[in-house]
Amino acid sequence: MSATIGVSQDDTQPVFDPRSRTALGEIVPADPMRWVRIGLMGAYLVVYLWWLRNKGLPLDRISVAVALGVFLVCAFVGKPRWQWAILGLDVVLYAAMWFAYEMTRGAADSLGMPLQVDSVRSIDRALFFGHDPNVVLQQDFWKPTVQWYDQIASFTYYTHFVFPVIAMAALWATSHRQWARFMKRFATLLAVGCAMFVVLPTVPPWMASSKKYPYQLFDPLKRETWRGFYDLGFKGFVKSWQSSLDWGNAVAAMPSLHASFALLVPAFFLPWIKPTWLKAIVLCFPVVMLVSLVYLAEHWVIDGLIGWAIVGSSFWFWNRAERRQRGAKASRARAALDGMA
């Protein structure tokens, strides 16, 4: 039954008859491939989990990109050509972003900027009343046998390689507008991070304590991010694209992208979460990540705090820009309606 729209007695305002209903199919075209896409994405999830359990976790950018590409093919099967064209452009920009990041991050340690060691340690000690948080956590909690908190710390650490990509893929498949909003904030974080890797190359705690390096600020710290993950039954990591790891930079500790991503992803989805208690639980995740990074000797506390500050600044900047953009569009729409009057 079609909706009925009449005219009010003053002949100026349309009146919608609520007793009538418009069939959904008259407005939204049928999509016979929708269930095919859902089935393919479900199969992809099953295969990915099997691969994760039996083959290992993909760590490098190329392996992750391949996995993401396969998912997007599943998510876009049967969609119009213009959507595939937009996806192709997005993929090119996405790849260019990561290439620029890796090249900058990998080249930063060859530019001769002074390495930050004592400064970051001094900031951490000032924050914790003269104590080294990395040392305190390992002295009090590290045991020769894997503990339950080792499992949490290790699992949380490795979510860095999975959760941001899952968020991108889900937004890519469901809402290009939201994907673009997410990527603006994400790319801003990477750009600022790259600049800081160049200007402030920072020695991580594990390196600052190792006998292989000249710093030795305190007794050697354990760097065993993998052992809790292994204890959970995940027995390996995919490193088949070993050459892609050559761009790595051991002194790209400031800011911590592990801590930054752990805040950026929940923060983006937070407005869609209604229960306050659930929001509080979600916001515990970046805290757990930072504690895990400090316990595993991967980062100083200040690395994570600076990363969070960059995420907050990115959201502040783009939220304001988007509000101005919405206001400008509304003003143009009102002007157009006034011109039609």
Summarize pLDDT for 257-316 with one digit per residue, the tens.
Answer: 999 999 999 999 999 998 999 999 999 999 999 999 999 999 999 999 999 999 999 999
Q: What is the mean pLDDT of residues 202-213?
A: 90
- Name residue, tokens 């500050």: 309
**What CA–CA distance (Å, rounded) separates 41 from 126?**
49
Asked whether the predicted pLDDT for residue 256 surpasses 90, the reply is yes
Considering only residues 155 and 242, tell me which one the structure prediction assigns the higher pLDDT.
155
Considering only residues 133 and 47, tell me which one the structure prediction assigns the higher pLDDT.
133
What's the first-to-final CA gap in the chain, in angstroms? Answer: 32
Q: Are strands 57-58 and 237-238 parallel, antiparallel or unpaired?
A: parallel
User: What pLDDT score does 121 carry?
Assistant: 94
Asked whether the predicted pLDDT for residue 76 surpasses 50, the reply is yes
What's the sign of the alpha-carbon dihedral 186, 187, 192, 193?
positive
Q: Is residue 167 part of a domain?
A: yes
Mean pLDDT, the chain, whole residue set: 82
Asked whether the predicted pLDDT for residue 340 surpasses 80, the reply is no
Q: Provide the phi-psi class of 233: left if phi over 0, else alpha when psi is between -120 and 50, else beta.
A: left
Q: Is residue 245 part of a domain?
A: yes
User: What pLDDT score does 28 carry?
Assistant: 55
User: What pLDDT score does 236 carry?
Assistant: 61
| Position 151 confidence tier, pLDDT thresholds 50, 70, 90 | very high
**What CA–CA distance (Å, rounded) separates 164 from 159?**
8
- Total count of domains within the chain: 1
Q: What is the mean pLDDT of residues 57-62?
A: 68
Q: Is residue 5 part of a domain?
A: no
Asked whether the predicted pLDDT for residue 319 surpasses 90, the reply is yes
Considering only residues 99 and 188, tell me which one the structure prediction assigns the higher pLDDT.
188
Owning domain of residue 54: 31-340
Q: Is residue 152 part of a domain?
A: yes
Considering only residues 38 and 154, tell me which one the structure prediction assigns the higher pLDDT.
154
Lowest mean pLDDT among 9-13, 187-191, 207-211, 256-260: 9-13
Pick from 86-90, 120-124, 221-225 the range whose average pLDDT is largest.
120-124
Q: Is residue 4 part of a domain?
A: no
| Position 243 confidence tier, pLDDT thresholds 50, 70, 90 | very low
Lowest mean pLDDT among 103-107, 141-145, 174-178, 210-214: 103-107
Considering only residues 77 and 264, tell me which one the structure prediction assigns the higher pLDDT.
264
* DSSP code of residue 202: B
Contact between 78 and 31 (Cβ < 8 Å): yes
**What CA–CA distance (Å, rounded) separates 308 from 313?**
9
Beta strands in the chain, from DSSP E residues, in sequence order: 5-7, 14-16, 57-58, 237-238
Q: Is residue 55 part of a domain?
A: yes
Q: Is residue 249 part of a domain?
A: yes
Q: Is the preceding omega at residue 205 within 30 degrees of 0, hence cis?
A: no
Considering only residues 243 and 263, tell me which one the structure prediction assigns the higher pLDDT.
263
Q: Is residue 10 part of a domain?
A: no
User: What pLDDT score does 238 carry?
Assistant: 47
Helix axes 61-76, 34-54, angle to 10 degrees: 160
**What CA–CA distance (Å, rounded) separates 189 from 315?**
10
User: What pLDDT score does 168 carry?
Assistant: 87
Contact between 68 and 95 (Cβ < 8 Å): no
Q: Which two tokens stand for residue 131?
A: 């104590």
**What CA–CA distance (Å, rounded) separates 308 from 315?**
11
Q: What is the mean pLDDT of residues 64-89?
A: 80
Considering only residues 197 and 4, tell me which one the structure prediction assigns the higher pLDDT.
197
Asked whether the predicted pLDDT for residue 211 surpasses 50, the reply is yes
Contact between 293 and 124 (Cβ < 8 Å): no
Pick from 11-25, 102-116, 217-231, 287-301 the range whose average pLDDT is largest.
287-301
User: What pLDDT score does 8 carry?
Assistant: 44
User: What pLDDT score does 49 carry?
Assistant: 77
